[in-house]
Amino acid sequence: MIPYVYFIKNKTTGLKYIGVRFANKCQPNDLWTTYFTSSLLVKKLINHYGKDDFEFKVLKKFNSKFEAIQYEQLLLKTACIRKDYLNIHSGYNFQTEEDFKIHLEKRKMIGYLSGKLQESLKIGFFGYTEEKKKEICSMGGRAAKIVNEKNKSGIFSEEVRRKQHETLRKLQISAYYNPELRKKICSKGGKNGNFSKNYYEKLGLSEEDRINAQRERGKKGGPKNKGFIWYNDGKNIYKYTKRQQEIESFEKFLEKNPKFKKGRK
């Protein structure tokens, strides 16, 4: 999160607006890409003239929400008394950072109570059918994907992906880093997968058909599987794939997991 104060101007009317942004995970490049101010008056101008009829600028970035609000208040002392600005009040009026923290706590409490009330009365989002809720949530997810992919944020951030892999590797909660779990999952697939006896019996096919199909699939898949390294724990053997090697070398993997050693025996 990088709090910032911004300036907006409508080209046709000449009307201006000063605002502050300090939402969770907000970034200055959100301005006029995914964030179009919280002003109802600005939104009405957008509806009438379109987003392209505006000039916008990030005036200053800050390390804290309180600093951003203080700077906005300073600018609003002038903006609020000028007719060419849409701002009609001086925004937040906090003398100390403690006042600001109390305000945030109140906002959280009011938001919580408002949500509970809507849920109880079945209004707003809680008034929709389950099908409609899923539709709305999926639309939000698609929009977030587009924004995150464009800004290289969220799961599209290399830093986030690196931290995810570090956590999975440390806790060994993913089949990608836990050979025992991977073997367990694979064994289930083997019993009911496309080349299992159960699968072919359901289709009414013979054992010979199953073996031939598996043989043909092996011929196609063989070249793609080259590059892995065998390793074992004294009882079972595993493959360390090329994809795993791109993320972490096999040597480092063995250093972190001394119970394993290279080879099939």
What does the pLDDT look like over 13-69, one tens digit per residue?
888 999 999 988 899 999 999 999 888 888 888 988 899 999 999 999 999 988 998
Q: Within a domain: residue 154?
A: no
- Which CATH number characterizes residue 20's domain? 3.40.1440.10
* Structural domain that includes position 35: 4-79
Q: Can you state the angle between helices 97-121 and 65-79, rounded to 10 degrees?
A: 90
Q: Within a domain: residue 219?
A: no
Given a contact cutoff of 8 angstroms between Cβ atoms, the answer to whether 8 and 65 are in contact is no
Q: Within a domain: residue 131?
A: no
HEC secondary structure over 131-165: HHHHHHHHHHHHHHHHHHHHHCCHHHCHHHHHHHH
Pick from 256, 208, 263: nearest CA to 234 = 263
Provide the CB-side half-sphere exposure for 64 (13 A, CA): 6
Rounded Cα–Cα distance for residues 265 and 260 (Å): 11
Strand partners, 7: 18, 57
Give how many domains the chain has, as a whole number.
1
Q: Within a domain: residue 9?
A: yes
Q: Within a domain: residue 250?
A: no
Given a contact cutoff of 8 angstroms between Cβ atoms, the answer to whether 15 and 29 are in contact is no
Q: Within a domain: residue 167?
A: no
| pTM of structure | 0.41
Number of Cβ within 10 Å of residue 95's Cβ equals 8
Q: Within a domain: residue 98?
A: no
Q: Which of 5-14, 36-45, 178-187, 253-262 has the largest mean confidence?
A: 5-14
